[in-house]
Amino acid sequence: MEVRKHWLGIVVHAIFLFIIALVLFVGMPFIFSAIRRIFPDIISNTELQAGILFFEIIWLWFVWAMFFVMWTNYYLDVVVITNKRLIDMEQFVLFSRDEVSILLENMEDVKIEVKGFLATIFRFGNLQIQTAGATKETIAKNIMRPEAVHACLVRAIEHQKHPT
């Protein structure tokens, strides 16, 4: 089984980036017209329009790069359950990631946590796994369908203990 974080998180971040892009995109002409009023002899209308276009393009490129990094982090955060282990891969930034591999036989407790109205409606939550190893607890945050993941893990652990 392969599980990712819920899509609602990336949508909320994308809406936030869209609002940031619009605010500066709409506000840039007002900023440059204020500069034009302060320095009327230094900046011509064509220079002002070129400056507005230049800064809008740079700003949109910056927002697009932020969205790309966000999407990459979202897409590369994944929990994989096999018949022998659970692998939790978490991407922090573009070139930094953490990977935890837990043998099913070392799992002591598997717990899901669904907090809040949106988490209940959209069916996402946290998966907490207690182990006997050096790292006592592993948490996969905001994953989709935590109940299904929990059921799959319990079945895999039972099958590992009692193969028939």
Q: What is the pLDDT of residues 6-37, one digit of tens each?
A: 898 899 999 999 998 888 778 877 877 787 77
For the chain, give the percent of residues with pLDDT over 90: 24
Which residue type occupies 45?
A: N
Measured between alpha carbons, how far is 114 from 7 in angstroms, rounded to an integer? Answer: 16
Instruction: Report all structural domains of the chain as residue ranges with CATH numbers, in order of start.
Output: 2-75 (no CATH), 80-161 (2.30.29)
The pLDDT assigned to 134 comes to: 64
- Residue 85: burial class (beta carbons within 10 Å; 0-12, 13-18, 19+): middle
Q: Record the tokens describing residue 94, joined without a space.
A: 């573009």
Number of residues that make up the chain: 164
- Average pLDDT in the 136-155 region? 86
- Residue 66: burial class (beta carbons within 10 Å; 0-12, 13-18, 19+): middle
The pLDDT assigned to 43 comes to: 67
Structure-token match 């946590």, residue found: 113
The pLDDT assigned to 21 comes to: 86
